[in-house]
Structures are given as structure tokens and as C-alpha cells.
């Protein structure tokens, strides 16, 4: 989440007239995240989130994202629901961007991740994968392995100012990862961006999963690798094995991983680290001036990548 496109009072008033959700009470931008322009919206009808789709989101994919959220919610996965306007449509235009209103989920994301959070996450991630199994439409992973060479080519050599030799090291890791990437693991609908700020908790339990705009059809275990990277490393860049073990065991209890998935886990974790290293490097150099957004530091994912490249089996993650 972030704000790249400002919404005037007049534009918002005209937009909300298309909905039957009550009168406007409060409206503010949400600075967290990096991809779309997001706003907290309160009306006499309740609390909502308004999203203007920016940057990497292809407008042609938006019906797929909104359809997946409806599908998951119908199968008891707590996630935002698109709100239809008076004409029955959930997707419309605002300030030159595609836009939608979704329901608001209560809860707070964990600022200090504990092993108990990781255990709950493993169970919820497996539930998401099971619930998405009968969602038939397919969306390719636009930031998967096929995209990495192109992303690498778009990053300026000046990125080495962050860390000398980083681009050469990243290029070597991309080639090695592509050479070994698996092709026959279980596939399905994945979130692909389930960072702590996309998971809400209430009373120690997960109350909702948000921000499905990188969701796609890919290896289910790749989603687990994204979460291992996002939830299980400490500020000193070391892996917290207690957290990774809790995440993996909880997931495996709810959706048992097959031997091929266990064997591929270190490589999938490399791929997940590369995906975020590359996109963070790109965003570090290309965030528009004045945007209400804080680019994420890429170096954290360089250190994660090094850990995964040294791992040889899933035992490196505590199992």
C-alpha cells in the first residue's frame, strides 16, 4: 500500500455517488506498502478501503484478483471483498486509474513477529491454498523466474552504491536459480506477497489476509518460501529457526508437502529472495518524487539470498 495518485474532494464525491455505502465521514491515505494508492474510507455505512491500481498491476488482471477474493471468502478465508456499485460493477475509474472499494478487515499486523504468529500463518496459508484449488481461472506469475532477467536489465549500475558488487552477485544468483528451477511441483492459486503487514491478527488469531494484487497461479511451496523470507529472519539478517520450524510444521499439518516440495525448498527460497531483491532495487531507483511511500531497502534480501544459497536441504529451516 502507498499513495501515488492524489484524489481531490470533487473526484471522490463523484466516485462515491456511484455506490450505496452512505455519506463520507473520513478519508486518508495509507502510506504503508509500495504498489498501489490506498486510502482508508469511512462512511455512514461503515469502514472501507479504496484502491487505485498503479505501476505493475495490469488492468486486465483486475477481474481475476477480485474474483479470487470473492471465491476465497465464499470458502471461509477472511479477505477483503469487492464492493459493487449501484450498477453491480466493482471495478471503475478514478483520477485516471482503475479503482475499487473493498471491505475493511479489523485487526493489526504484527510489528514484532513471534513463533506463534508464524504457526498461525502456516495454517492460514495452507487453508488459502486448499480454498483456491477449485478456482479455475489461471494467472501467470508476472514476477516469477521468467521476469527476473528483464528486471535485472532495468536496474542501473548505480545500484552498486548501496553495496559494492551487489549487481554482479545478483546476476550470478539469477542464472544459477534459473538453471535449477523445478518444473513439476504442485501448483495452484497463491498470494505471492504475504508479508506481515498483509496479515491481521486479533486476540492472537489471524483475522484477515489482505492485498491480493500479486496473487497468481504458481507452485504452492513458492508461497511458503515467500513467507519464510518475510517472517522468519531477524534484524541482524539471521534466520530464526524457531519461527521457520513453526511455519513449516503448521503448514505441513494442514497441507502435507510432498518429497519434491521439501527437496526444492532451498531453491524456492532463493527464488523468493531474488524476486524481492530485484523489485526493491528497481523501486529504490524509480520511486516518483513526492509519492507518499517509503521504498524498502534491498539489502535485507541480499543477505537472505546468501543464506538460501548456502542451504542444501530443508533441514536448514529447522525441519
Q: Which domains does the chain have, with CATH numbers?
A: 9-103 (3.30.200.20), 115-317 (3.90.1200.10)
- Which pLDDT belongs to residue 2? 56
- Asked if 53 and 213 count as a contact pair (C-beta separation under 8 A), the reply is yes
Q: Which three cell numbers stand for residue 3?
A: 499513495
Query: What local confidence, expressed as pLDDT, does residue 47 receive?
Result: 96
Supply the pLDDT for residue 86.
96
| pLDDT of 141 | 97
What one-character-per-residue DSSP string does 182-220 give? -S-S-EEEE-S---GGGEEEETTEEEEE---TT-EEEEH
130 contacts 46 by C-beta, under 8 angstroms: no
Q: What integer pLDDT is reported at residue 161 of this predicted model?
A: 87
pLDDT for the residue numbered 1: 39
Q: Which of 186, 87, 172 is nearest to 129 (CA)?
A: 186
| Residue ranges of the chain whose pLDDT lies below 70 | 1-3, 32-34, 56, 287-295
Grid cell listed for 91: 471495478
**Which cell numbers hold the place of 166?**
551487489
Amino acid at each position: 500500500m502507498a499513495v501515488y495518485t492524489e484524489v481531490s474532494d470533487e473526484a471522490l464525491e463523484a466516485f462515491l455517488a456511484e455506490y450505496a455505502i452512505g455519506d463520507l465521514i473520513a478519508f486518508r491515505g495509507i502510506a504503508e506498502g509500495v504498489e498501489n494508492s490506498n486510502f482508508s474510507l469511512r462512511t455512514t455505512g461503515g469502514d472501507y478501503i479504496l484502491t487505485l491500481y498503479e505501476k505493475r498491476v495490469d488492468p486486465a488482471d483486475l477481474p481475476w484478483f477480485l474474483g479470487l477474493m470473492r471465491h476465497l471468502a465464499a470458502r471461509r478465508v477472511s479477505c477483503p471483498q469487492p464492493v459493487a456499485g449501484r450498477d453491480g460493477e466493482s471495478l471503475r475509474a478514478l483520477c485516471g486509474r482503475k479503482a475499487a472499494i473493498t471491505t475493511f478487515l479489523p485487526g493489526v499486523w504484527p510489528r514484532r513477529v513471534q513463533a506463534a504468529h508464524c504457526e498461525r500463518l502456516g495454517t492460514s496459508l495452507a487453508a488459502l491454498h486448499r480454498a483456491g484449488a477449485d478456482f479455475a481461472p489461471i494467472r501467470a506469475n508476472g514476477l516469477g523466474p521468467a521476469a527476473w532477467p528483464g528486471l535485472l536489465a532495468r536496474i542501473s549500475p548505480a545500484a552498486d552504491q548501496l553495496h559494492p558488487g551487489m549487481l554482479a552477485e545478483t546476476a550470478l544468483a539469477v542464472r544459477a536459480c534459473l538453471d535449477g528451477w523445478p518444473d513439476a511441483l504442485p501448483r495452484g492459486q497463491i498470494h505471492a506477497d504475504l508479508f506481515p503487514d498483509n496479515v491481521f491478527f486479533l486476540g492472537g488469531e489471524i483475522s484477515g489476509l489482505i492485498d491480493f494484487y500479486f496473487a497468481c497461479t504458481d507452485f504452492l511451496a513458492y508461497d511458503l518460501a515467500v513467507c519464510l523470507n518475510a517472517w522468519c529472519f531477524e534484524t541482524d539478517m539471521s534466520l530464526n529457526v524457531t519461527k521457520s520450524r513453526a511455519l513449516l510444521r503448521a503448514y505441513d499439518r494442514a497441507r502435507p508437502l510432498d518429497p519434491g516440495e521439501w527437496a526444492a525448498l532451498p531453491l524456492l527460497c532463493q527464488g523468493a529472495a531474488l524476486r524481492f531483491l530485484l523489485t526493491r532495487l528497481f523501486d529504490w531507483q524509480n520511486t516518483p518524487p513526492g509519492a507518499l511511500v517509503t521504498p524498502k531497502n534491498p539489502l535485507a534480501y541480499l543477505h537472505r539470498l546468501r543464506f538460501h544459497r548456502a542451504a542444501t536441504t530443508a533441514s536448514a529451516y529447522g525441519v
